């Protein structure tokens, strides 16, 4: 392996620090310089992420780029053997086929969100510092192989988000920020309790080890864990991540965030932060307690269907484009649940594809809403219309993004939707068929929203709008490019995932079959 690869992952996770340091040294009024550094700074994690992806070994299910260092050790008691037992918090990072694509996604969306932040007009210095902090948190969540680290990084995303929404958002930004914090704080609290309980029994915080021990039948350490306790722990983890995903009825906070946060932050929020819920659910919920997840899978499917259909019907009647997309996100995250509920490799792959695919698609759509807002100062559907005339490029990309979102083949949304449903049809065909109604409803609400915005007669006030500028074209083309790449050649995403999914699936199906 290339020398330096042993600290590659840490370098990647903390690489945004460099930009933070540089920006901290630039005087706050030098907007242009801050923007340049803010955007260029995100290229470093991007390059490192692609480098790592290049080195990533597809043929092993083991963690790669592993880093383990002793970090904190608080001696707190004597074990029966007489040795001192210590509360150890180690620094443990590693990636596998599930986290690798998400790290890549994070780096890509991070850069594009920075580009999209060019329209931010106040307190740029703080904005970009917080943005880079957020980036560290997100990268860390996907790289952590330790519950404590995971928790810290998870929390690290909340604080910058709170300020990014509360300071740079629209009208009701403070309300949205508080609501965001309230819900996520509760989620974190539940997650923390579950982590503590797990640690108390397992005596380790290492995610890989915990999963290995918990899924070994009759392992002495886990003898204390009765099925009831396990189920309680699974449910705690499920609720914690369900708030993040979000699952009905925990979803109302994210509506506010989607409407009030600035577009570039919503790109990150909808594109990546929601995905931490899906990731946690797979890695910890299902990874630690496959048996309980299997028992719960019918409920996963039912909750997934509720998300899919409820989100779609509500998206159909919204007046604000942002709300349409917010409910659309709820609907699409339901598909993730459906994929998990399938409890087979096809369903899991569909769910993970959906996580990545929706990341790109929602980032694209929210970016476009930002562009439209920039021209028209509105995102209300009834105020818009006929934009194709003056903004053909933006309107075309908007339609393409909508098509990707409604699962048009040749785009990533189709692959993820198809495999999530295909997986579920293998286990619960009736529920899958009900959920599949969402395929029609998605088309109904997306076409309504997009065609009312871009088709139809052009009002005179919109005849002179400027089409996309070069700085806006870049994110659109890059995002659309990835959406089409995954849609046409899904193996680019599927192959790295194979080995990691192969380790989860037999455990789950071994229980079920």
Partner 1 sequence: MDTFLHYAWLIPLFPLLAFIVIVSFGRQLKEGAAIVGIGLTAVSFGIAVLAFWQRFRDGGVDYNYVVDWLHVGDIVINMGFEVTPLNAMMLVIVTLVSLLVQIYSKGYMHGDERFPVFYQYLALFTFSMLGLVISPNLLQVYIFWELVGVCSFLLVGYYYFKPEAKAAAKKAFIVTRIGDLGLFIGICLLFWWTGSFEYGPIFESVALGRLEPWMITVAAILIFIGAMGKSGQFPLHTWLPDAMEGPTPVSALIHAATMVAAGVYLVAATYPLFIASDTALTVVAYVGGITAIFAASIGLTQRDIKRVLAYSTVSQLGYMMMALGVAGAAGYVAGSFHLMTHAFFKALLFLGAGSVIHAVHTQDVFEMGGLWKKMPVTALTFLIGCLAIAGIFPFAGFWSKEAILGAVYGAHRYDLLVIALVAAFFTAFYMFRLFFLTFTGKARGKHEAHESPGVMTGPLLILALLAVVAGFVNTPYAPLLTDWLLSTGTGTAIVNVFGEGTEHAASWLQIVALLISVLGVILAYLMYGKKSVSPNSIPEAMPWLYRLSYRKYYVDELYQNVIVRPLGWLGIILNGFDKYVVDGLVGLTAKITQGIGALHARVQSGQIQSYGAMVLFGLLLLILAISLTVEGGGLFGFGR
Residues 380-419 that bind partner 1 (CB under 8 A): 386, 388-389, 403, 408-410, 414, 418-419
CB 31, min distance to partner 1, A: 28
| Distance between CA atoms of residues 143 and 12, nearest Å | 9
**Binding to partner 1 (CB under 8 A): which residues in 130-169?**
155, 158-159, 162
CB 256, min distance to partner 1, A: 9
Q: Is 503 helix (H, G, I), strand (E, B) or coil?
A: helix
Total residues contacting partner 1 by CB under 8 A comes to 81
| Distance between CA atoms of residues 136 and 149, nearest Å | 12
**Binding to partner 1 (CB under 8 A): which residues in 55-94?**
74-80, 85, 87
CB 201, min distance to partner 1, A: 8
CB 277, min distance to partner 1, A: 17
Pick from 175, 376, 352: nearest CA to 260: 175
Residues 6+ apart with CB under 8 A from 12: 45, 48, 49, 52, 103, 107, 139, 143
294 close to 513: Cβ distance less than 8 angstroms: no
Question: Please, which residue, 55 or 491, has the CB nearer to partner 1?
Answer: 491
- Could you tell me how far CA 442 lies from the centroid of its own chain? 20
Does an H or E element contain 65, and which? strand 64-78
CB 198, min distance to partner 1, A: 11
Q: Segment contacting partner 1 (CB under 8 A): 10-18, 227-235, 277-285, 342-350?
A: 342-350
**Binding to partner 1 (CB under 8 A): which residues in 194-233?**
196-197, 199-200
Question: Please, which residue, 2 or 74, has the CB nearer to partner 1?
Answer: 74
| Distance between CA atoms of residues 441 and 460, nearest Å | 32
| Distance between CA atoms of residues 19 and 128, nearest Å | 9
61 close to 500: Cβ distance less than 8 angstroms: yes
**Binding to partner 1 (CB under 8 A): which residues in 486-505?**
490-491, 494-495, 498, 501-502, 505
Residue 476: CB atoms within 10 A of its CB come to 22
CB 85, min distance to partner 1, A: 5
Question: Please, which residue, 24 or 182, has the CB nearer to partner 1?
Answer: 182
DSSP letters for 191-233:
HHHHHHHHHHHHS--BHHHHHHHHTSTT-GGGGG--HHHHHHH
Question: Please, which residue, 89 or 107, has the CB nearer to partner 1?
Answer: 89
Residues 6+ apart with CB under 8 A from 55: 1, 2, 5, 8, 65
Pick from 211, 201, 10, 12: nearest CA to 92: 10
**Binding to partner 1 (CB under 8 A): which residues in 348-387?**
349, 386
Site map 231..250 versus partner 1, x via CB under 8 A? -----------------xxx
Binding partner 1 (rule: CB under 8 A), the pick from 7, 21, 317, 466 is: 317
Binding partner 1 (rule: CB under 8 A), the pick from 10, 178, 209, 390 is: 178
Verify binding: residue 192, partner 1, rule CB under 8 A: yes
**Binding to partner 1 (CB under 8 A): which residues in 420-449?**
421-422, 425-426, 429, 432-433, 436-437, 439-440, 443-444, 447-448
CB 184, min distance to partner 1, A: 9
Question: Please, which residue, 117 or 331, has the CB nearer to partner 1?
Answer: 331
Q: Segment contacting partner 1 (CB under 8 A): 29-37, 101-109, 123-131, 339-347?
A: 339-347
Site map 93..132 versus partner 1, x via CB under 8 A? ----------------------------------------
Say which residue the tokens 């933006």 belong to: 394
499 close to 58: Cβ distance less than 8 angstroms: yes
């Amino acid at each position: 392996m290339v020398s330096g690869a042993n600290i590659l992952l840490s370098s990647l996770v903390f690489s945004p620090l460099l930009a933070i340091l540089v920006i901290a040294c630039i005087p706050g009024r030098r907007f242009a310089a801050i923007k340049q550094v803010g955007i260029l700074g995100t290229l470093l994690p991007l390059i490192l992420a692609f480098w790592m992806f290049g080195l990533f070994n597809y043929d092993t299910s083991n963690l790669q780029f592993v880093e383990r260092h002793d970090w904190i050790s608080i001696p707190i008691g004597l074990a029966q053997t007489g040795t001192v037992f210590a509360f150890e918090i180690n620094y443990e990072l590693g990636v596998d086929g599930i986290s690798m694509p998400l790290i890549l996604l994070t780096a890509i969306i991070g850069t594009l969100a920075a580009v999209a932040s060019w329209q931010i007009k106040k307190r740029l210095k703080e904005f970009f510092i917080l943005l880079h902090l957020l980036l560290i948190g997100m990268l860390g969540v996907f790289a952590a192989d330790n519950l404590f680290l995971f928790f810290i990084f998870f929390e690290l995303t909340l604080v910058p988000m709170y300020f990014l929404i509360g300071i740079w958002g629209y009208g009701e930004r403070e309300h949205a920020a508080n609501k965001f914090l309230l819900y996520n704080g509760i989620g974190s609290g539940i997650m923390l309790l579950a982590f503590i309980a797990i640690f108390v029994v397992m005596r380790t915080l290492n995610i890989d080890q915990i999963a290995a021990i918990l899924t070994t039948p009759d392992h002495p350490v886990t003898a204390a864990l009765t099925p009831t306790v396990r189920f309680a722990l699974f449910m705690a983890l499920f609720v914690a991540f369900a708030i993040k995903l979000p699952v009905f009825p925990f979803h109302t906070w994210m509506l506010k965030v989607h409407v009030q946060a600035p577009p570039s932050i919503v790109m990150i929020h909808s594109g990546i932060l929601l995905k931490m819920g899906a990731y946690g659910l797979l890695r910890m919920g299902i990874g630690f307690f496959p048996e309980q997840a299997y028992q719960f899978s019918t409920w996963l499917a039912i909750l997934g269907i509720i998300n899919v259909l409820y989100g779609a019907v509500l998206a159909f009647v919204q007046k604000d484009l942002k709300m349409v997309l917010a409910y659309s996100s709820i609907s699409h995250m339901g598909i993730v649940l459906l994929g998990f509920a399938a409890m087979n490799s096809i369903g899991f792959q569909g769910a993970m594809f959906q996580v990545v695919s929706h990341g790109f698609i929602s980032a694209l759509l929210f970016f476009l809403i930002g562009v439209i807002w920039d021209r028209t100062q509105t995102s209300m559907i009834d105020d818009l219309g006929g934009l194709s005339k003056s903004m053909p490029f933006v309107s075309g990309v908007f339609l393409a993004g909508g098509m990707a979102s409604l699962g048009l083949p040749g785009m990533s949304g189709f692959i993820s939707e198809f495999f999530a449903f295909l997986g579920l049809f293998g286990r619960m065909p009736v529920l899958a068929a009900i959920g599949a109604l969402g395929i029609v409803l998605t088309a109904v609400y997306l076409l309504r929203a997009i065609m009312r915005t871009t088709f139809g007669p052009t009002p005179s006030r919109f005849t002179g709008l400027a089409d996309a500028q070069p700085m806006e074209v870049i994110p659109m083309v890059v995002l659309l490019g990835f959406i089409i790449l995954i849609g046409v050649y899904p193996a680019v995403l599927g192959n790295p995932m194979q080995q990691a999914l192969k380790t989860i699936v037999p455990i789950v199906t071994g229980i079920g079959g």
